[in-house]
Amino acid sequence: MRRLMALCVLITIFSLVSCGKDDVNATEPVIDATHRLAIVIGSQTITATLYDNPTSRDFISRLPLTVDLNDYGGMEKVFTPSPELTTYNSPAGMNPQAGDIALFAPWGNIAIYYRNGTSSGSLIPIGRIENGINALNVSGTIQNVRFELTSIEP
C-alpha cells in the first residue's frame, strides 16, 4: 500500500512539473530586450515586440521577409505567409486593439491592426507594435514592406 501511495505521489509531482514546461505565456517576449521586430515601410520603421508562442517563433524563423500589406476592413493590414504558420499549441482568442499583430488561423493570414478590431477565438497573438503605427493608417495596399529583427540601443 505504501508503494502504491508513493507511486501516486511521484506521478502527481511529475505531472505538475511537466505541465509547467508546456505553459505558453503569449505576452512574454520571444527575443531578448536588445532586439525587436522592425517593419520597414519606405523610409519609416515601425517597431514591435513579439510574443513567446509557437506561432511567433515560426514567424521569426522566416525573417527577413518582404511582402505587400493589403487593407482589410479599414482596420488592419494583412498578408498571408507561405507555407502557413504553425498554430499548434499556441494561445487563441483575443479582442484586437490598435497595435496588435495576430494570425487569423482559418485563413492563415497575419493581421496588423491600426484600429481596434473585432474579437475572435480564431486570432493567435503574435506581437504588439511599440511605435510607428501611423505608417499603416493609409488606404489601400502598401507594397514592399520588410519585416526583420533589429537591434536596439540599451
Mean pLDDT of 57-78: 96
Give the span between the Cα atoms of 109 and 92, in whole angstroms.
14
Indicate whether 125 belongs to any domain: yes
Q: Which of 26-30, 45-49, 74-78 has the lowest mean pLDDT?
A: 26-30
Task: Check residue 21 and give its pLDDT.
Answer: 34
In a domain, 19, yes or no: no
In a 3-state reduction of DSSP, which class is residue 31? coil
pTM over 0.85: no
For residue 3, tell me if it sits in a domain: no
pLDDT tier at 15 (50, 70, 90 boundaries)?
very low
pLDDT of residue 146: 98
Does residue 19 have a pLDDT over 50?
no
Q: Tell whether the model's pLDDT for residue 100 goes beyond 80.
A: yes
Whether residue 13 lies inside any domain: the answer is no
SS3 for 34-94 is: CEEEEEEECCEEEEEEEECCHHHHHHHCCCCEEEEEEEECCCEEEECCCCCCCCCCCCCCE
State the CATH number of the domain containing residue 89.
Answer: 2.40.100.20
51 has a pLDDT exceeding 80: yes
The parent domain of residue 130 ranges over 28-151
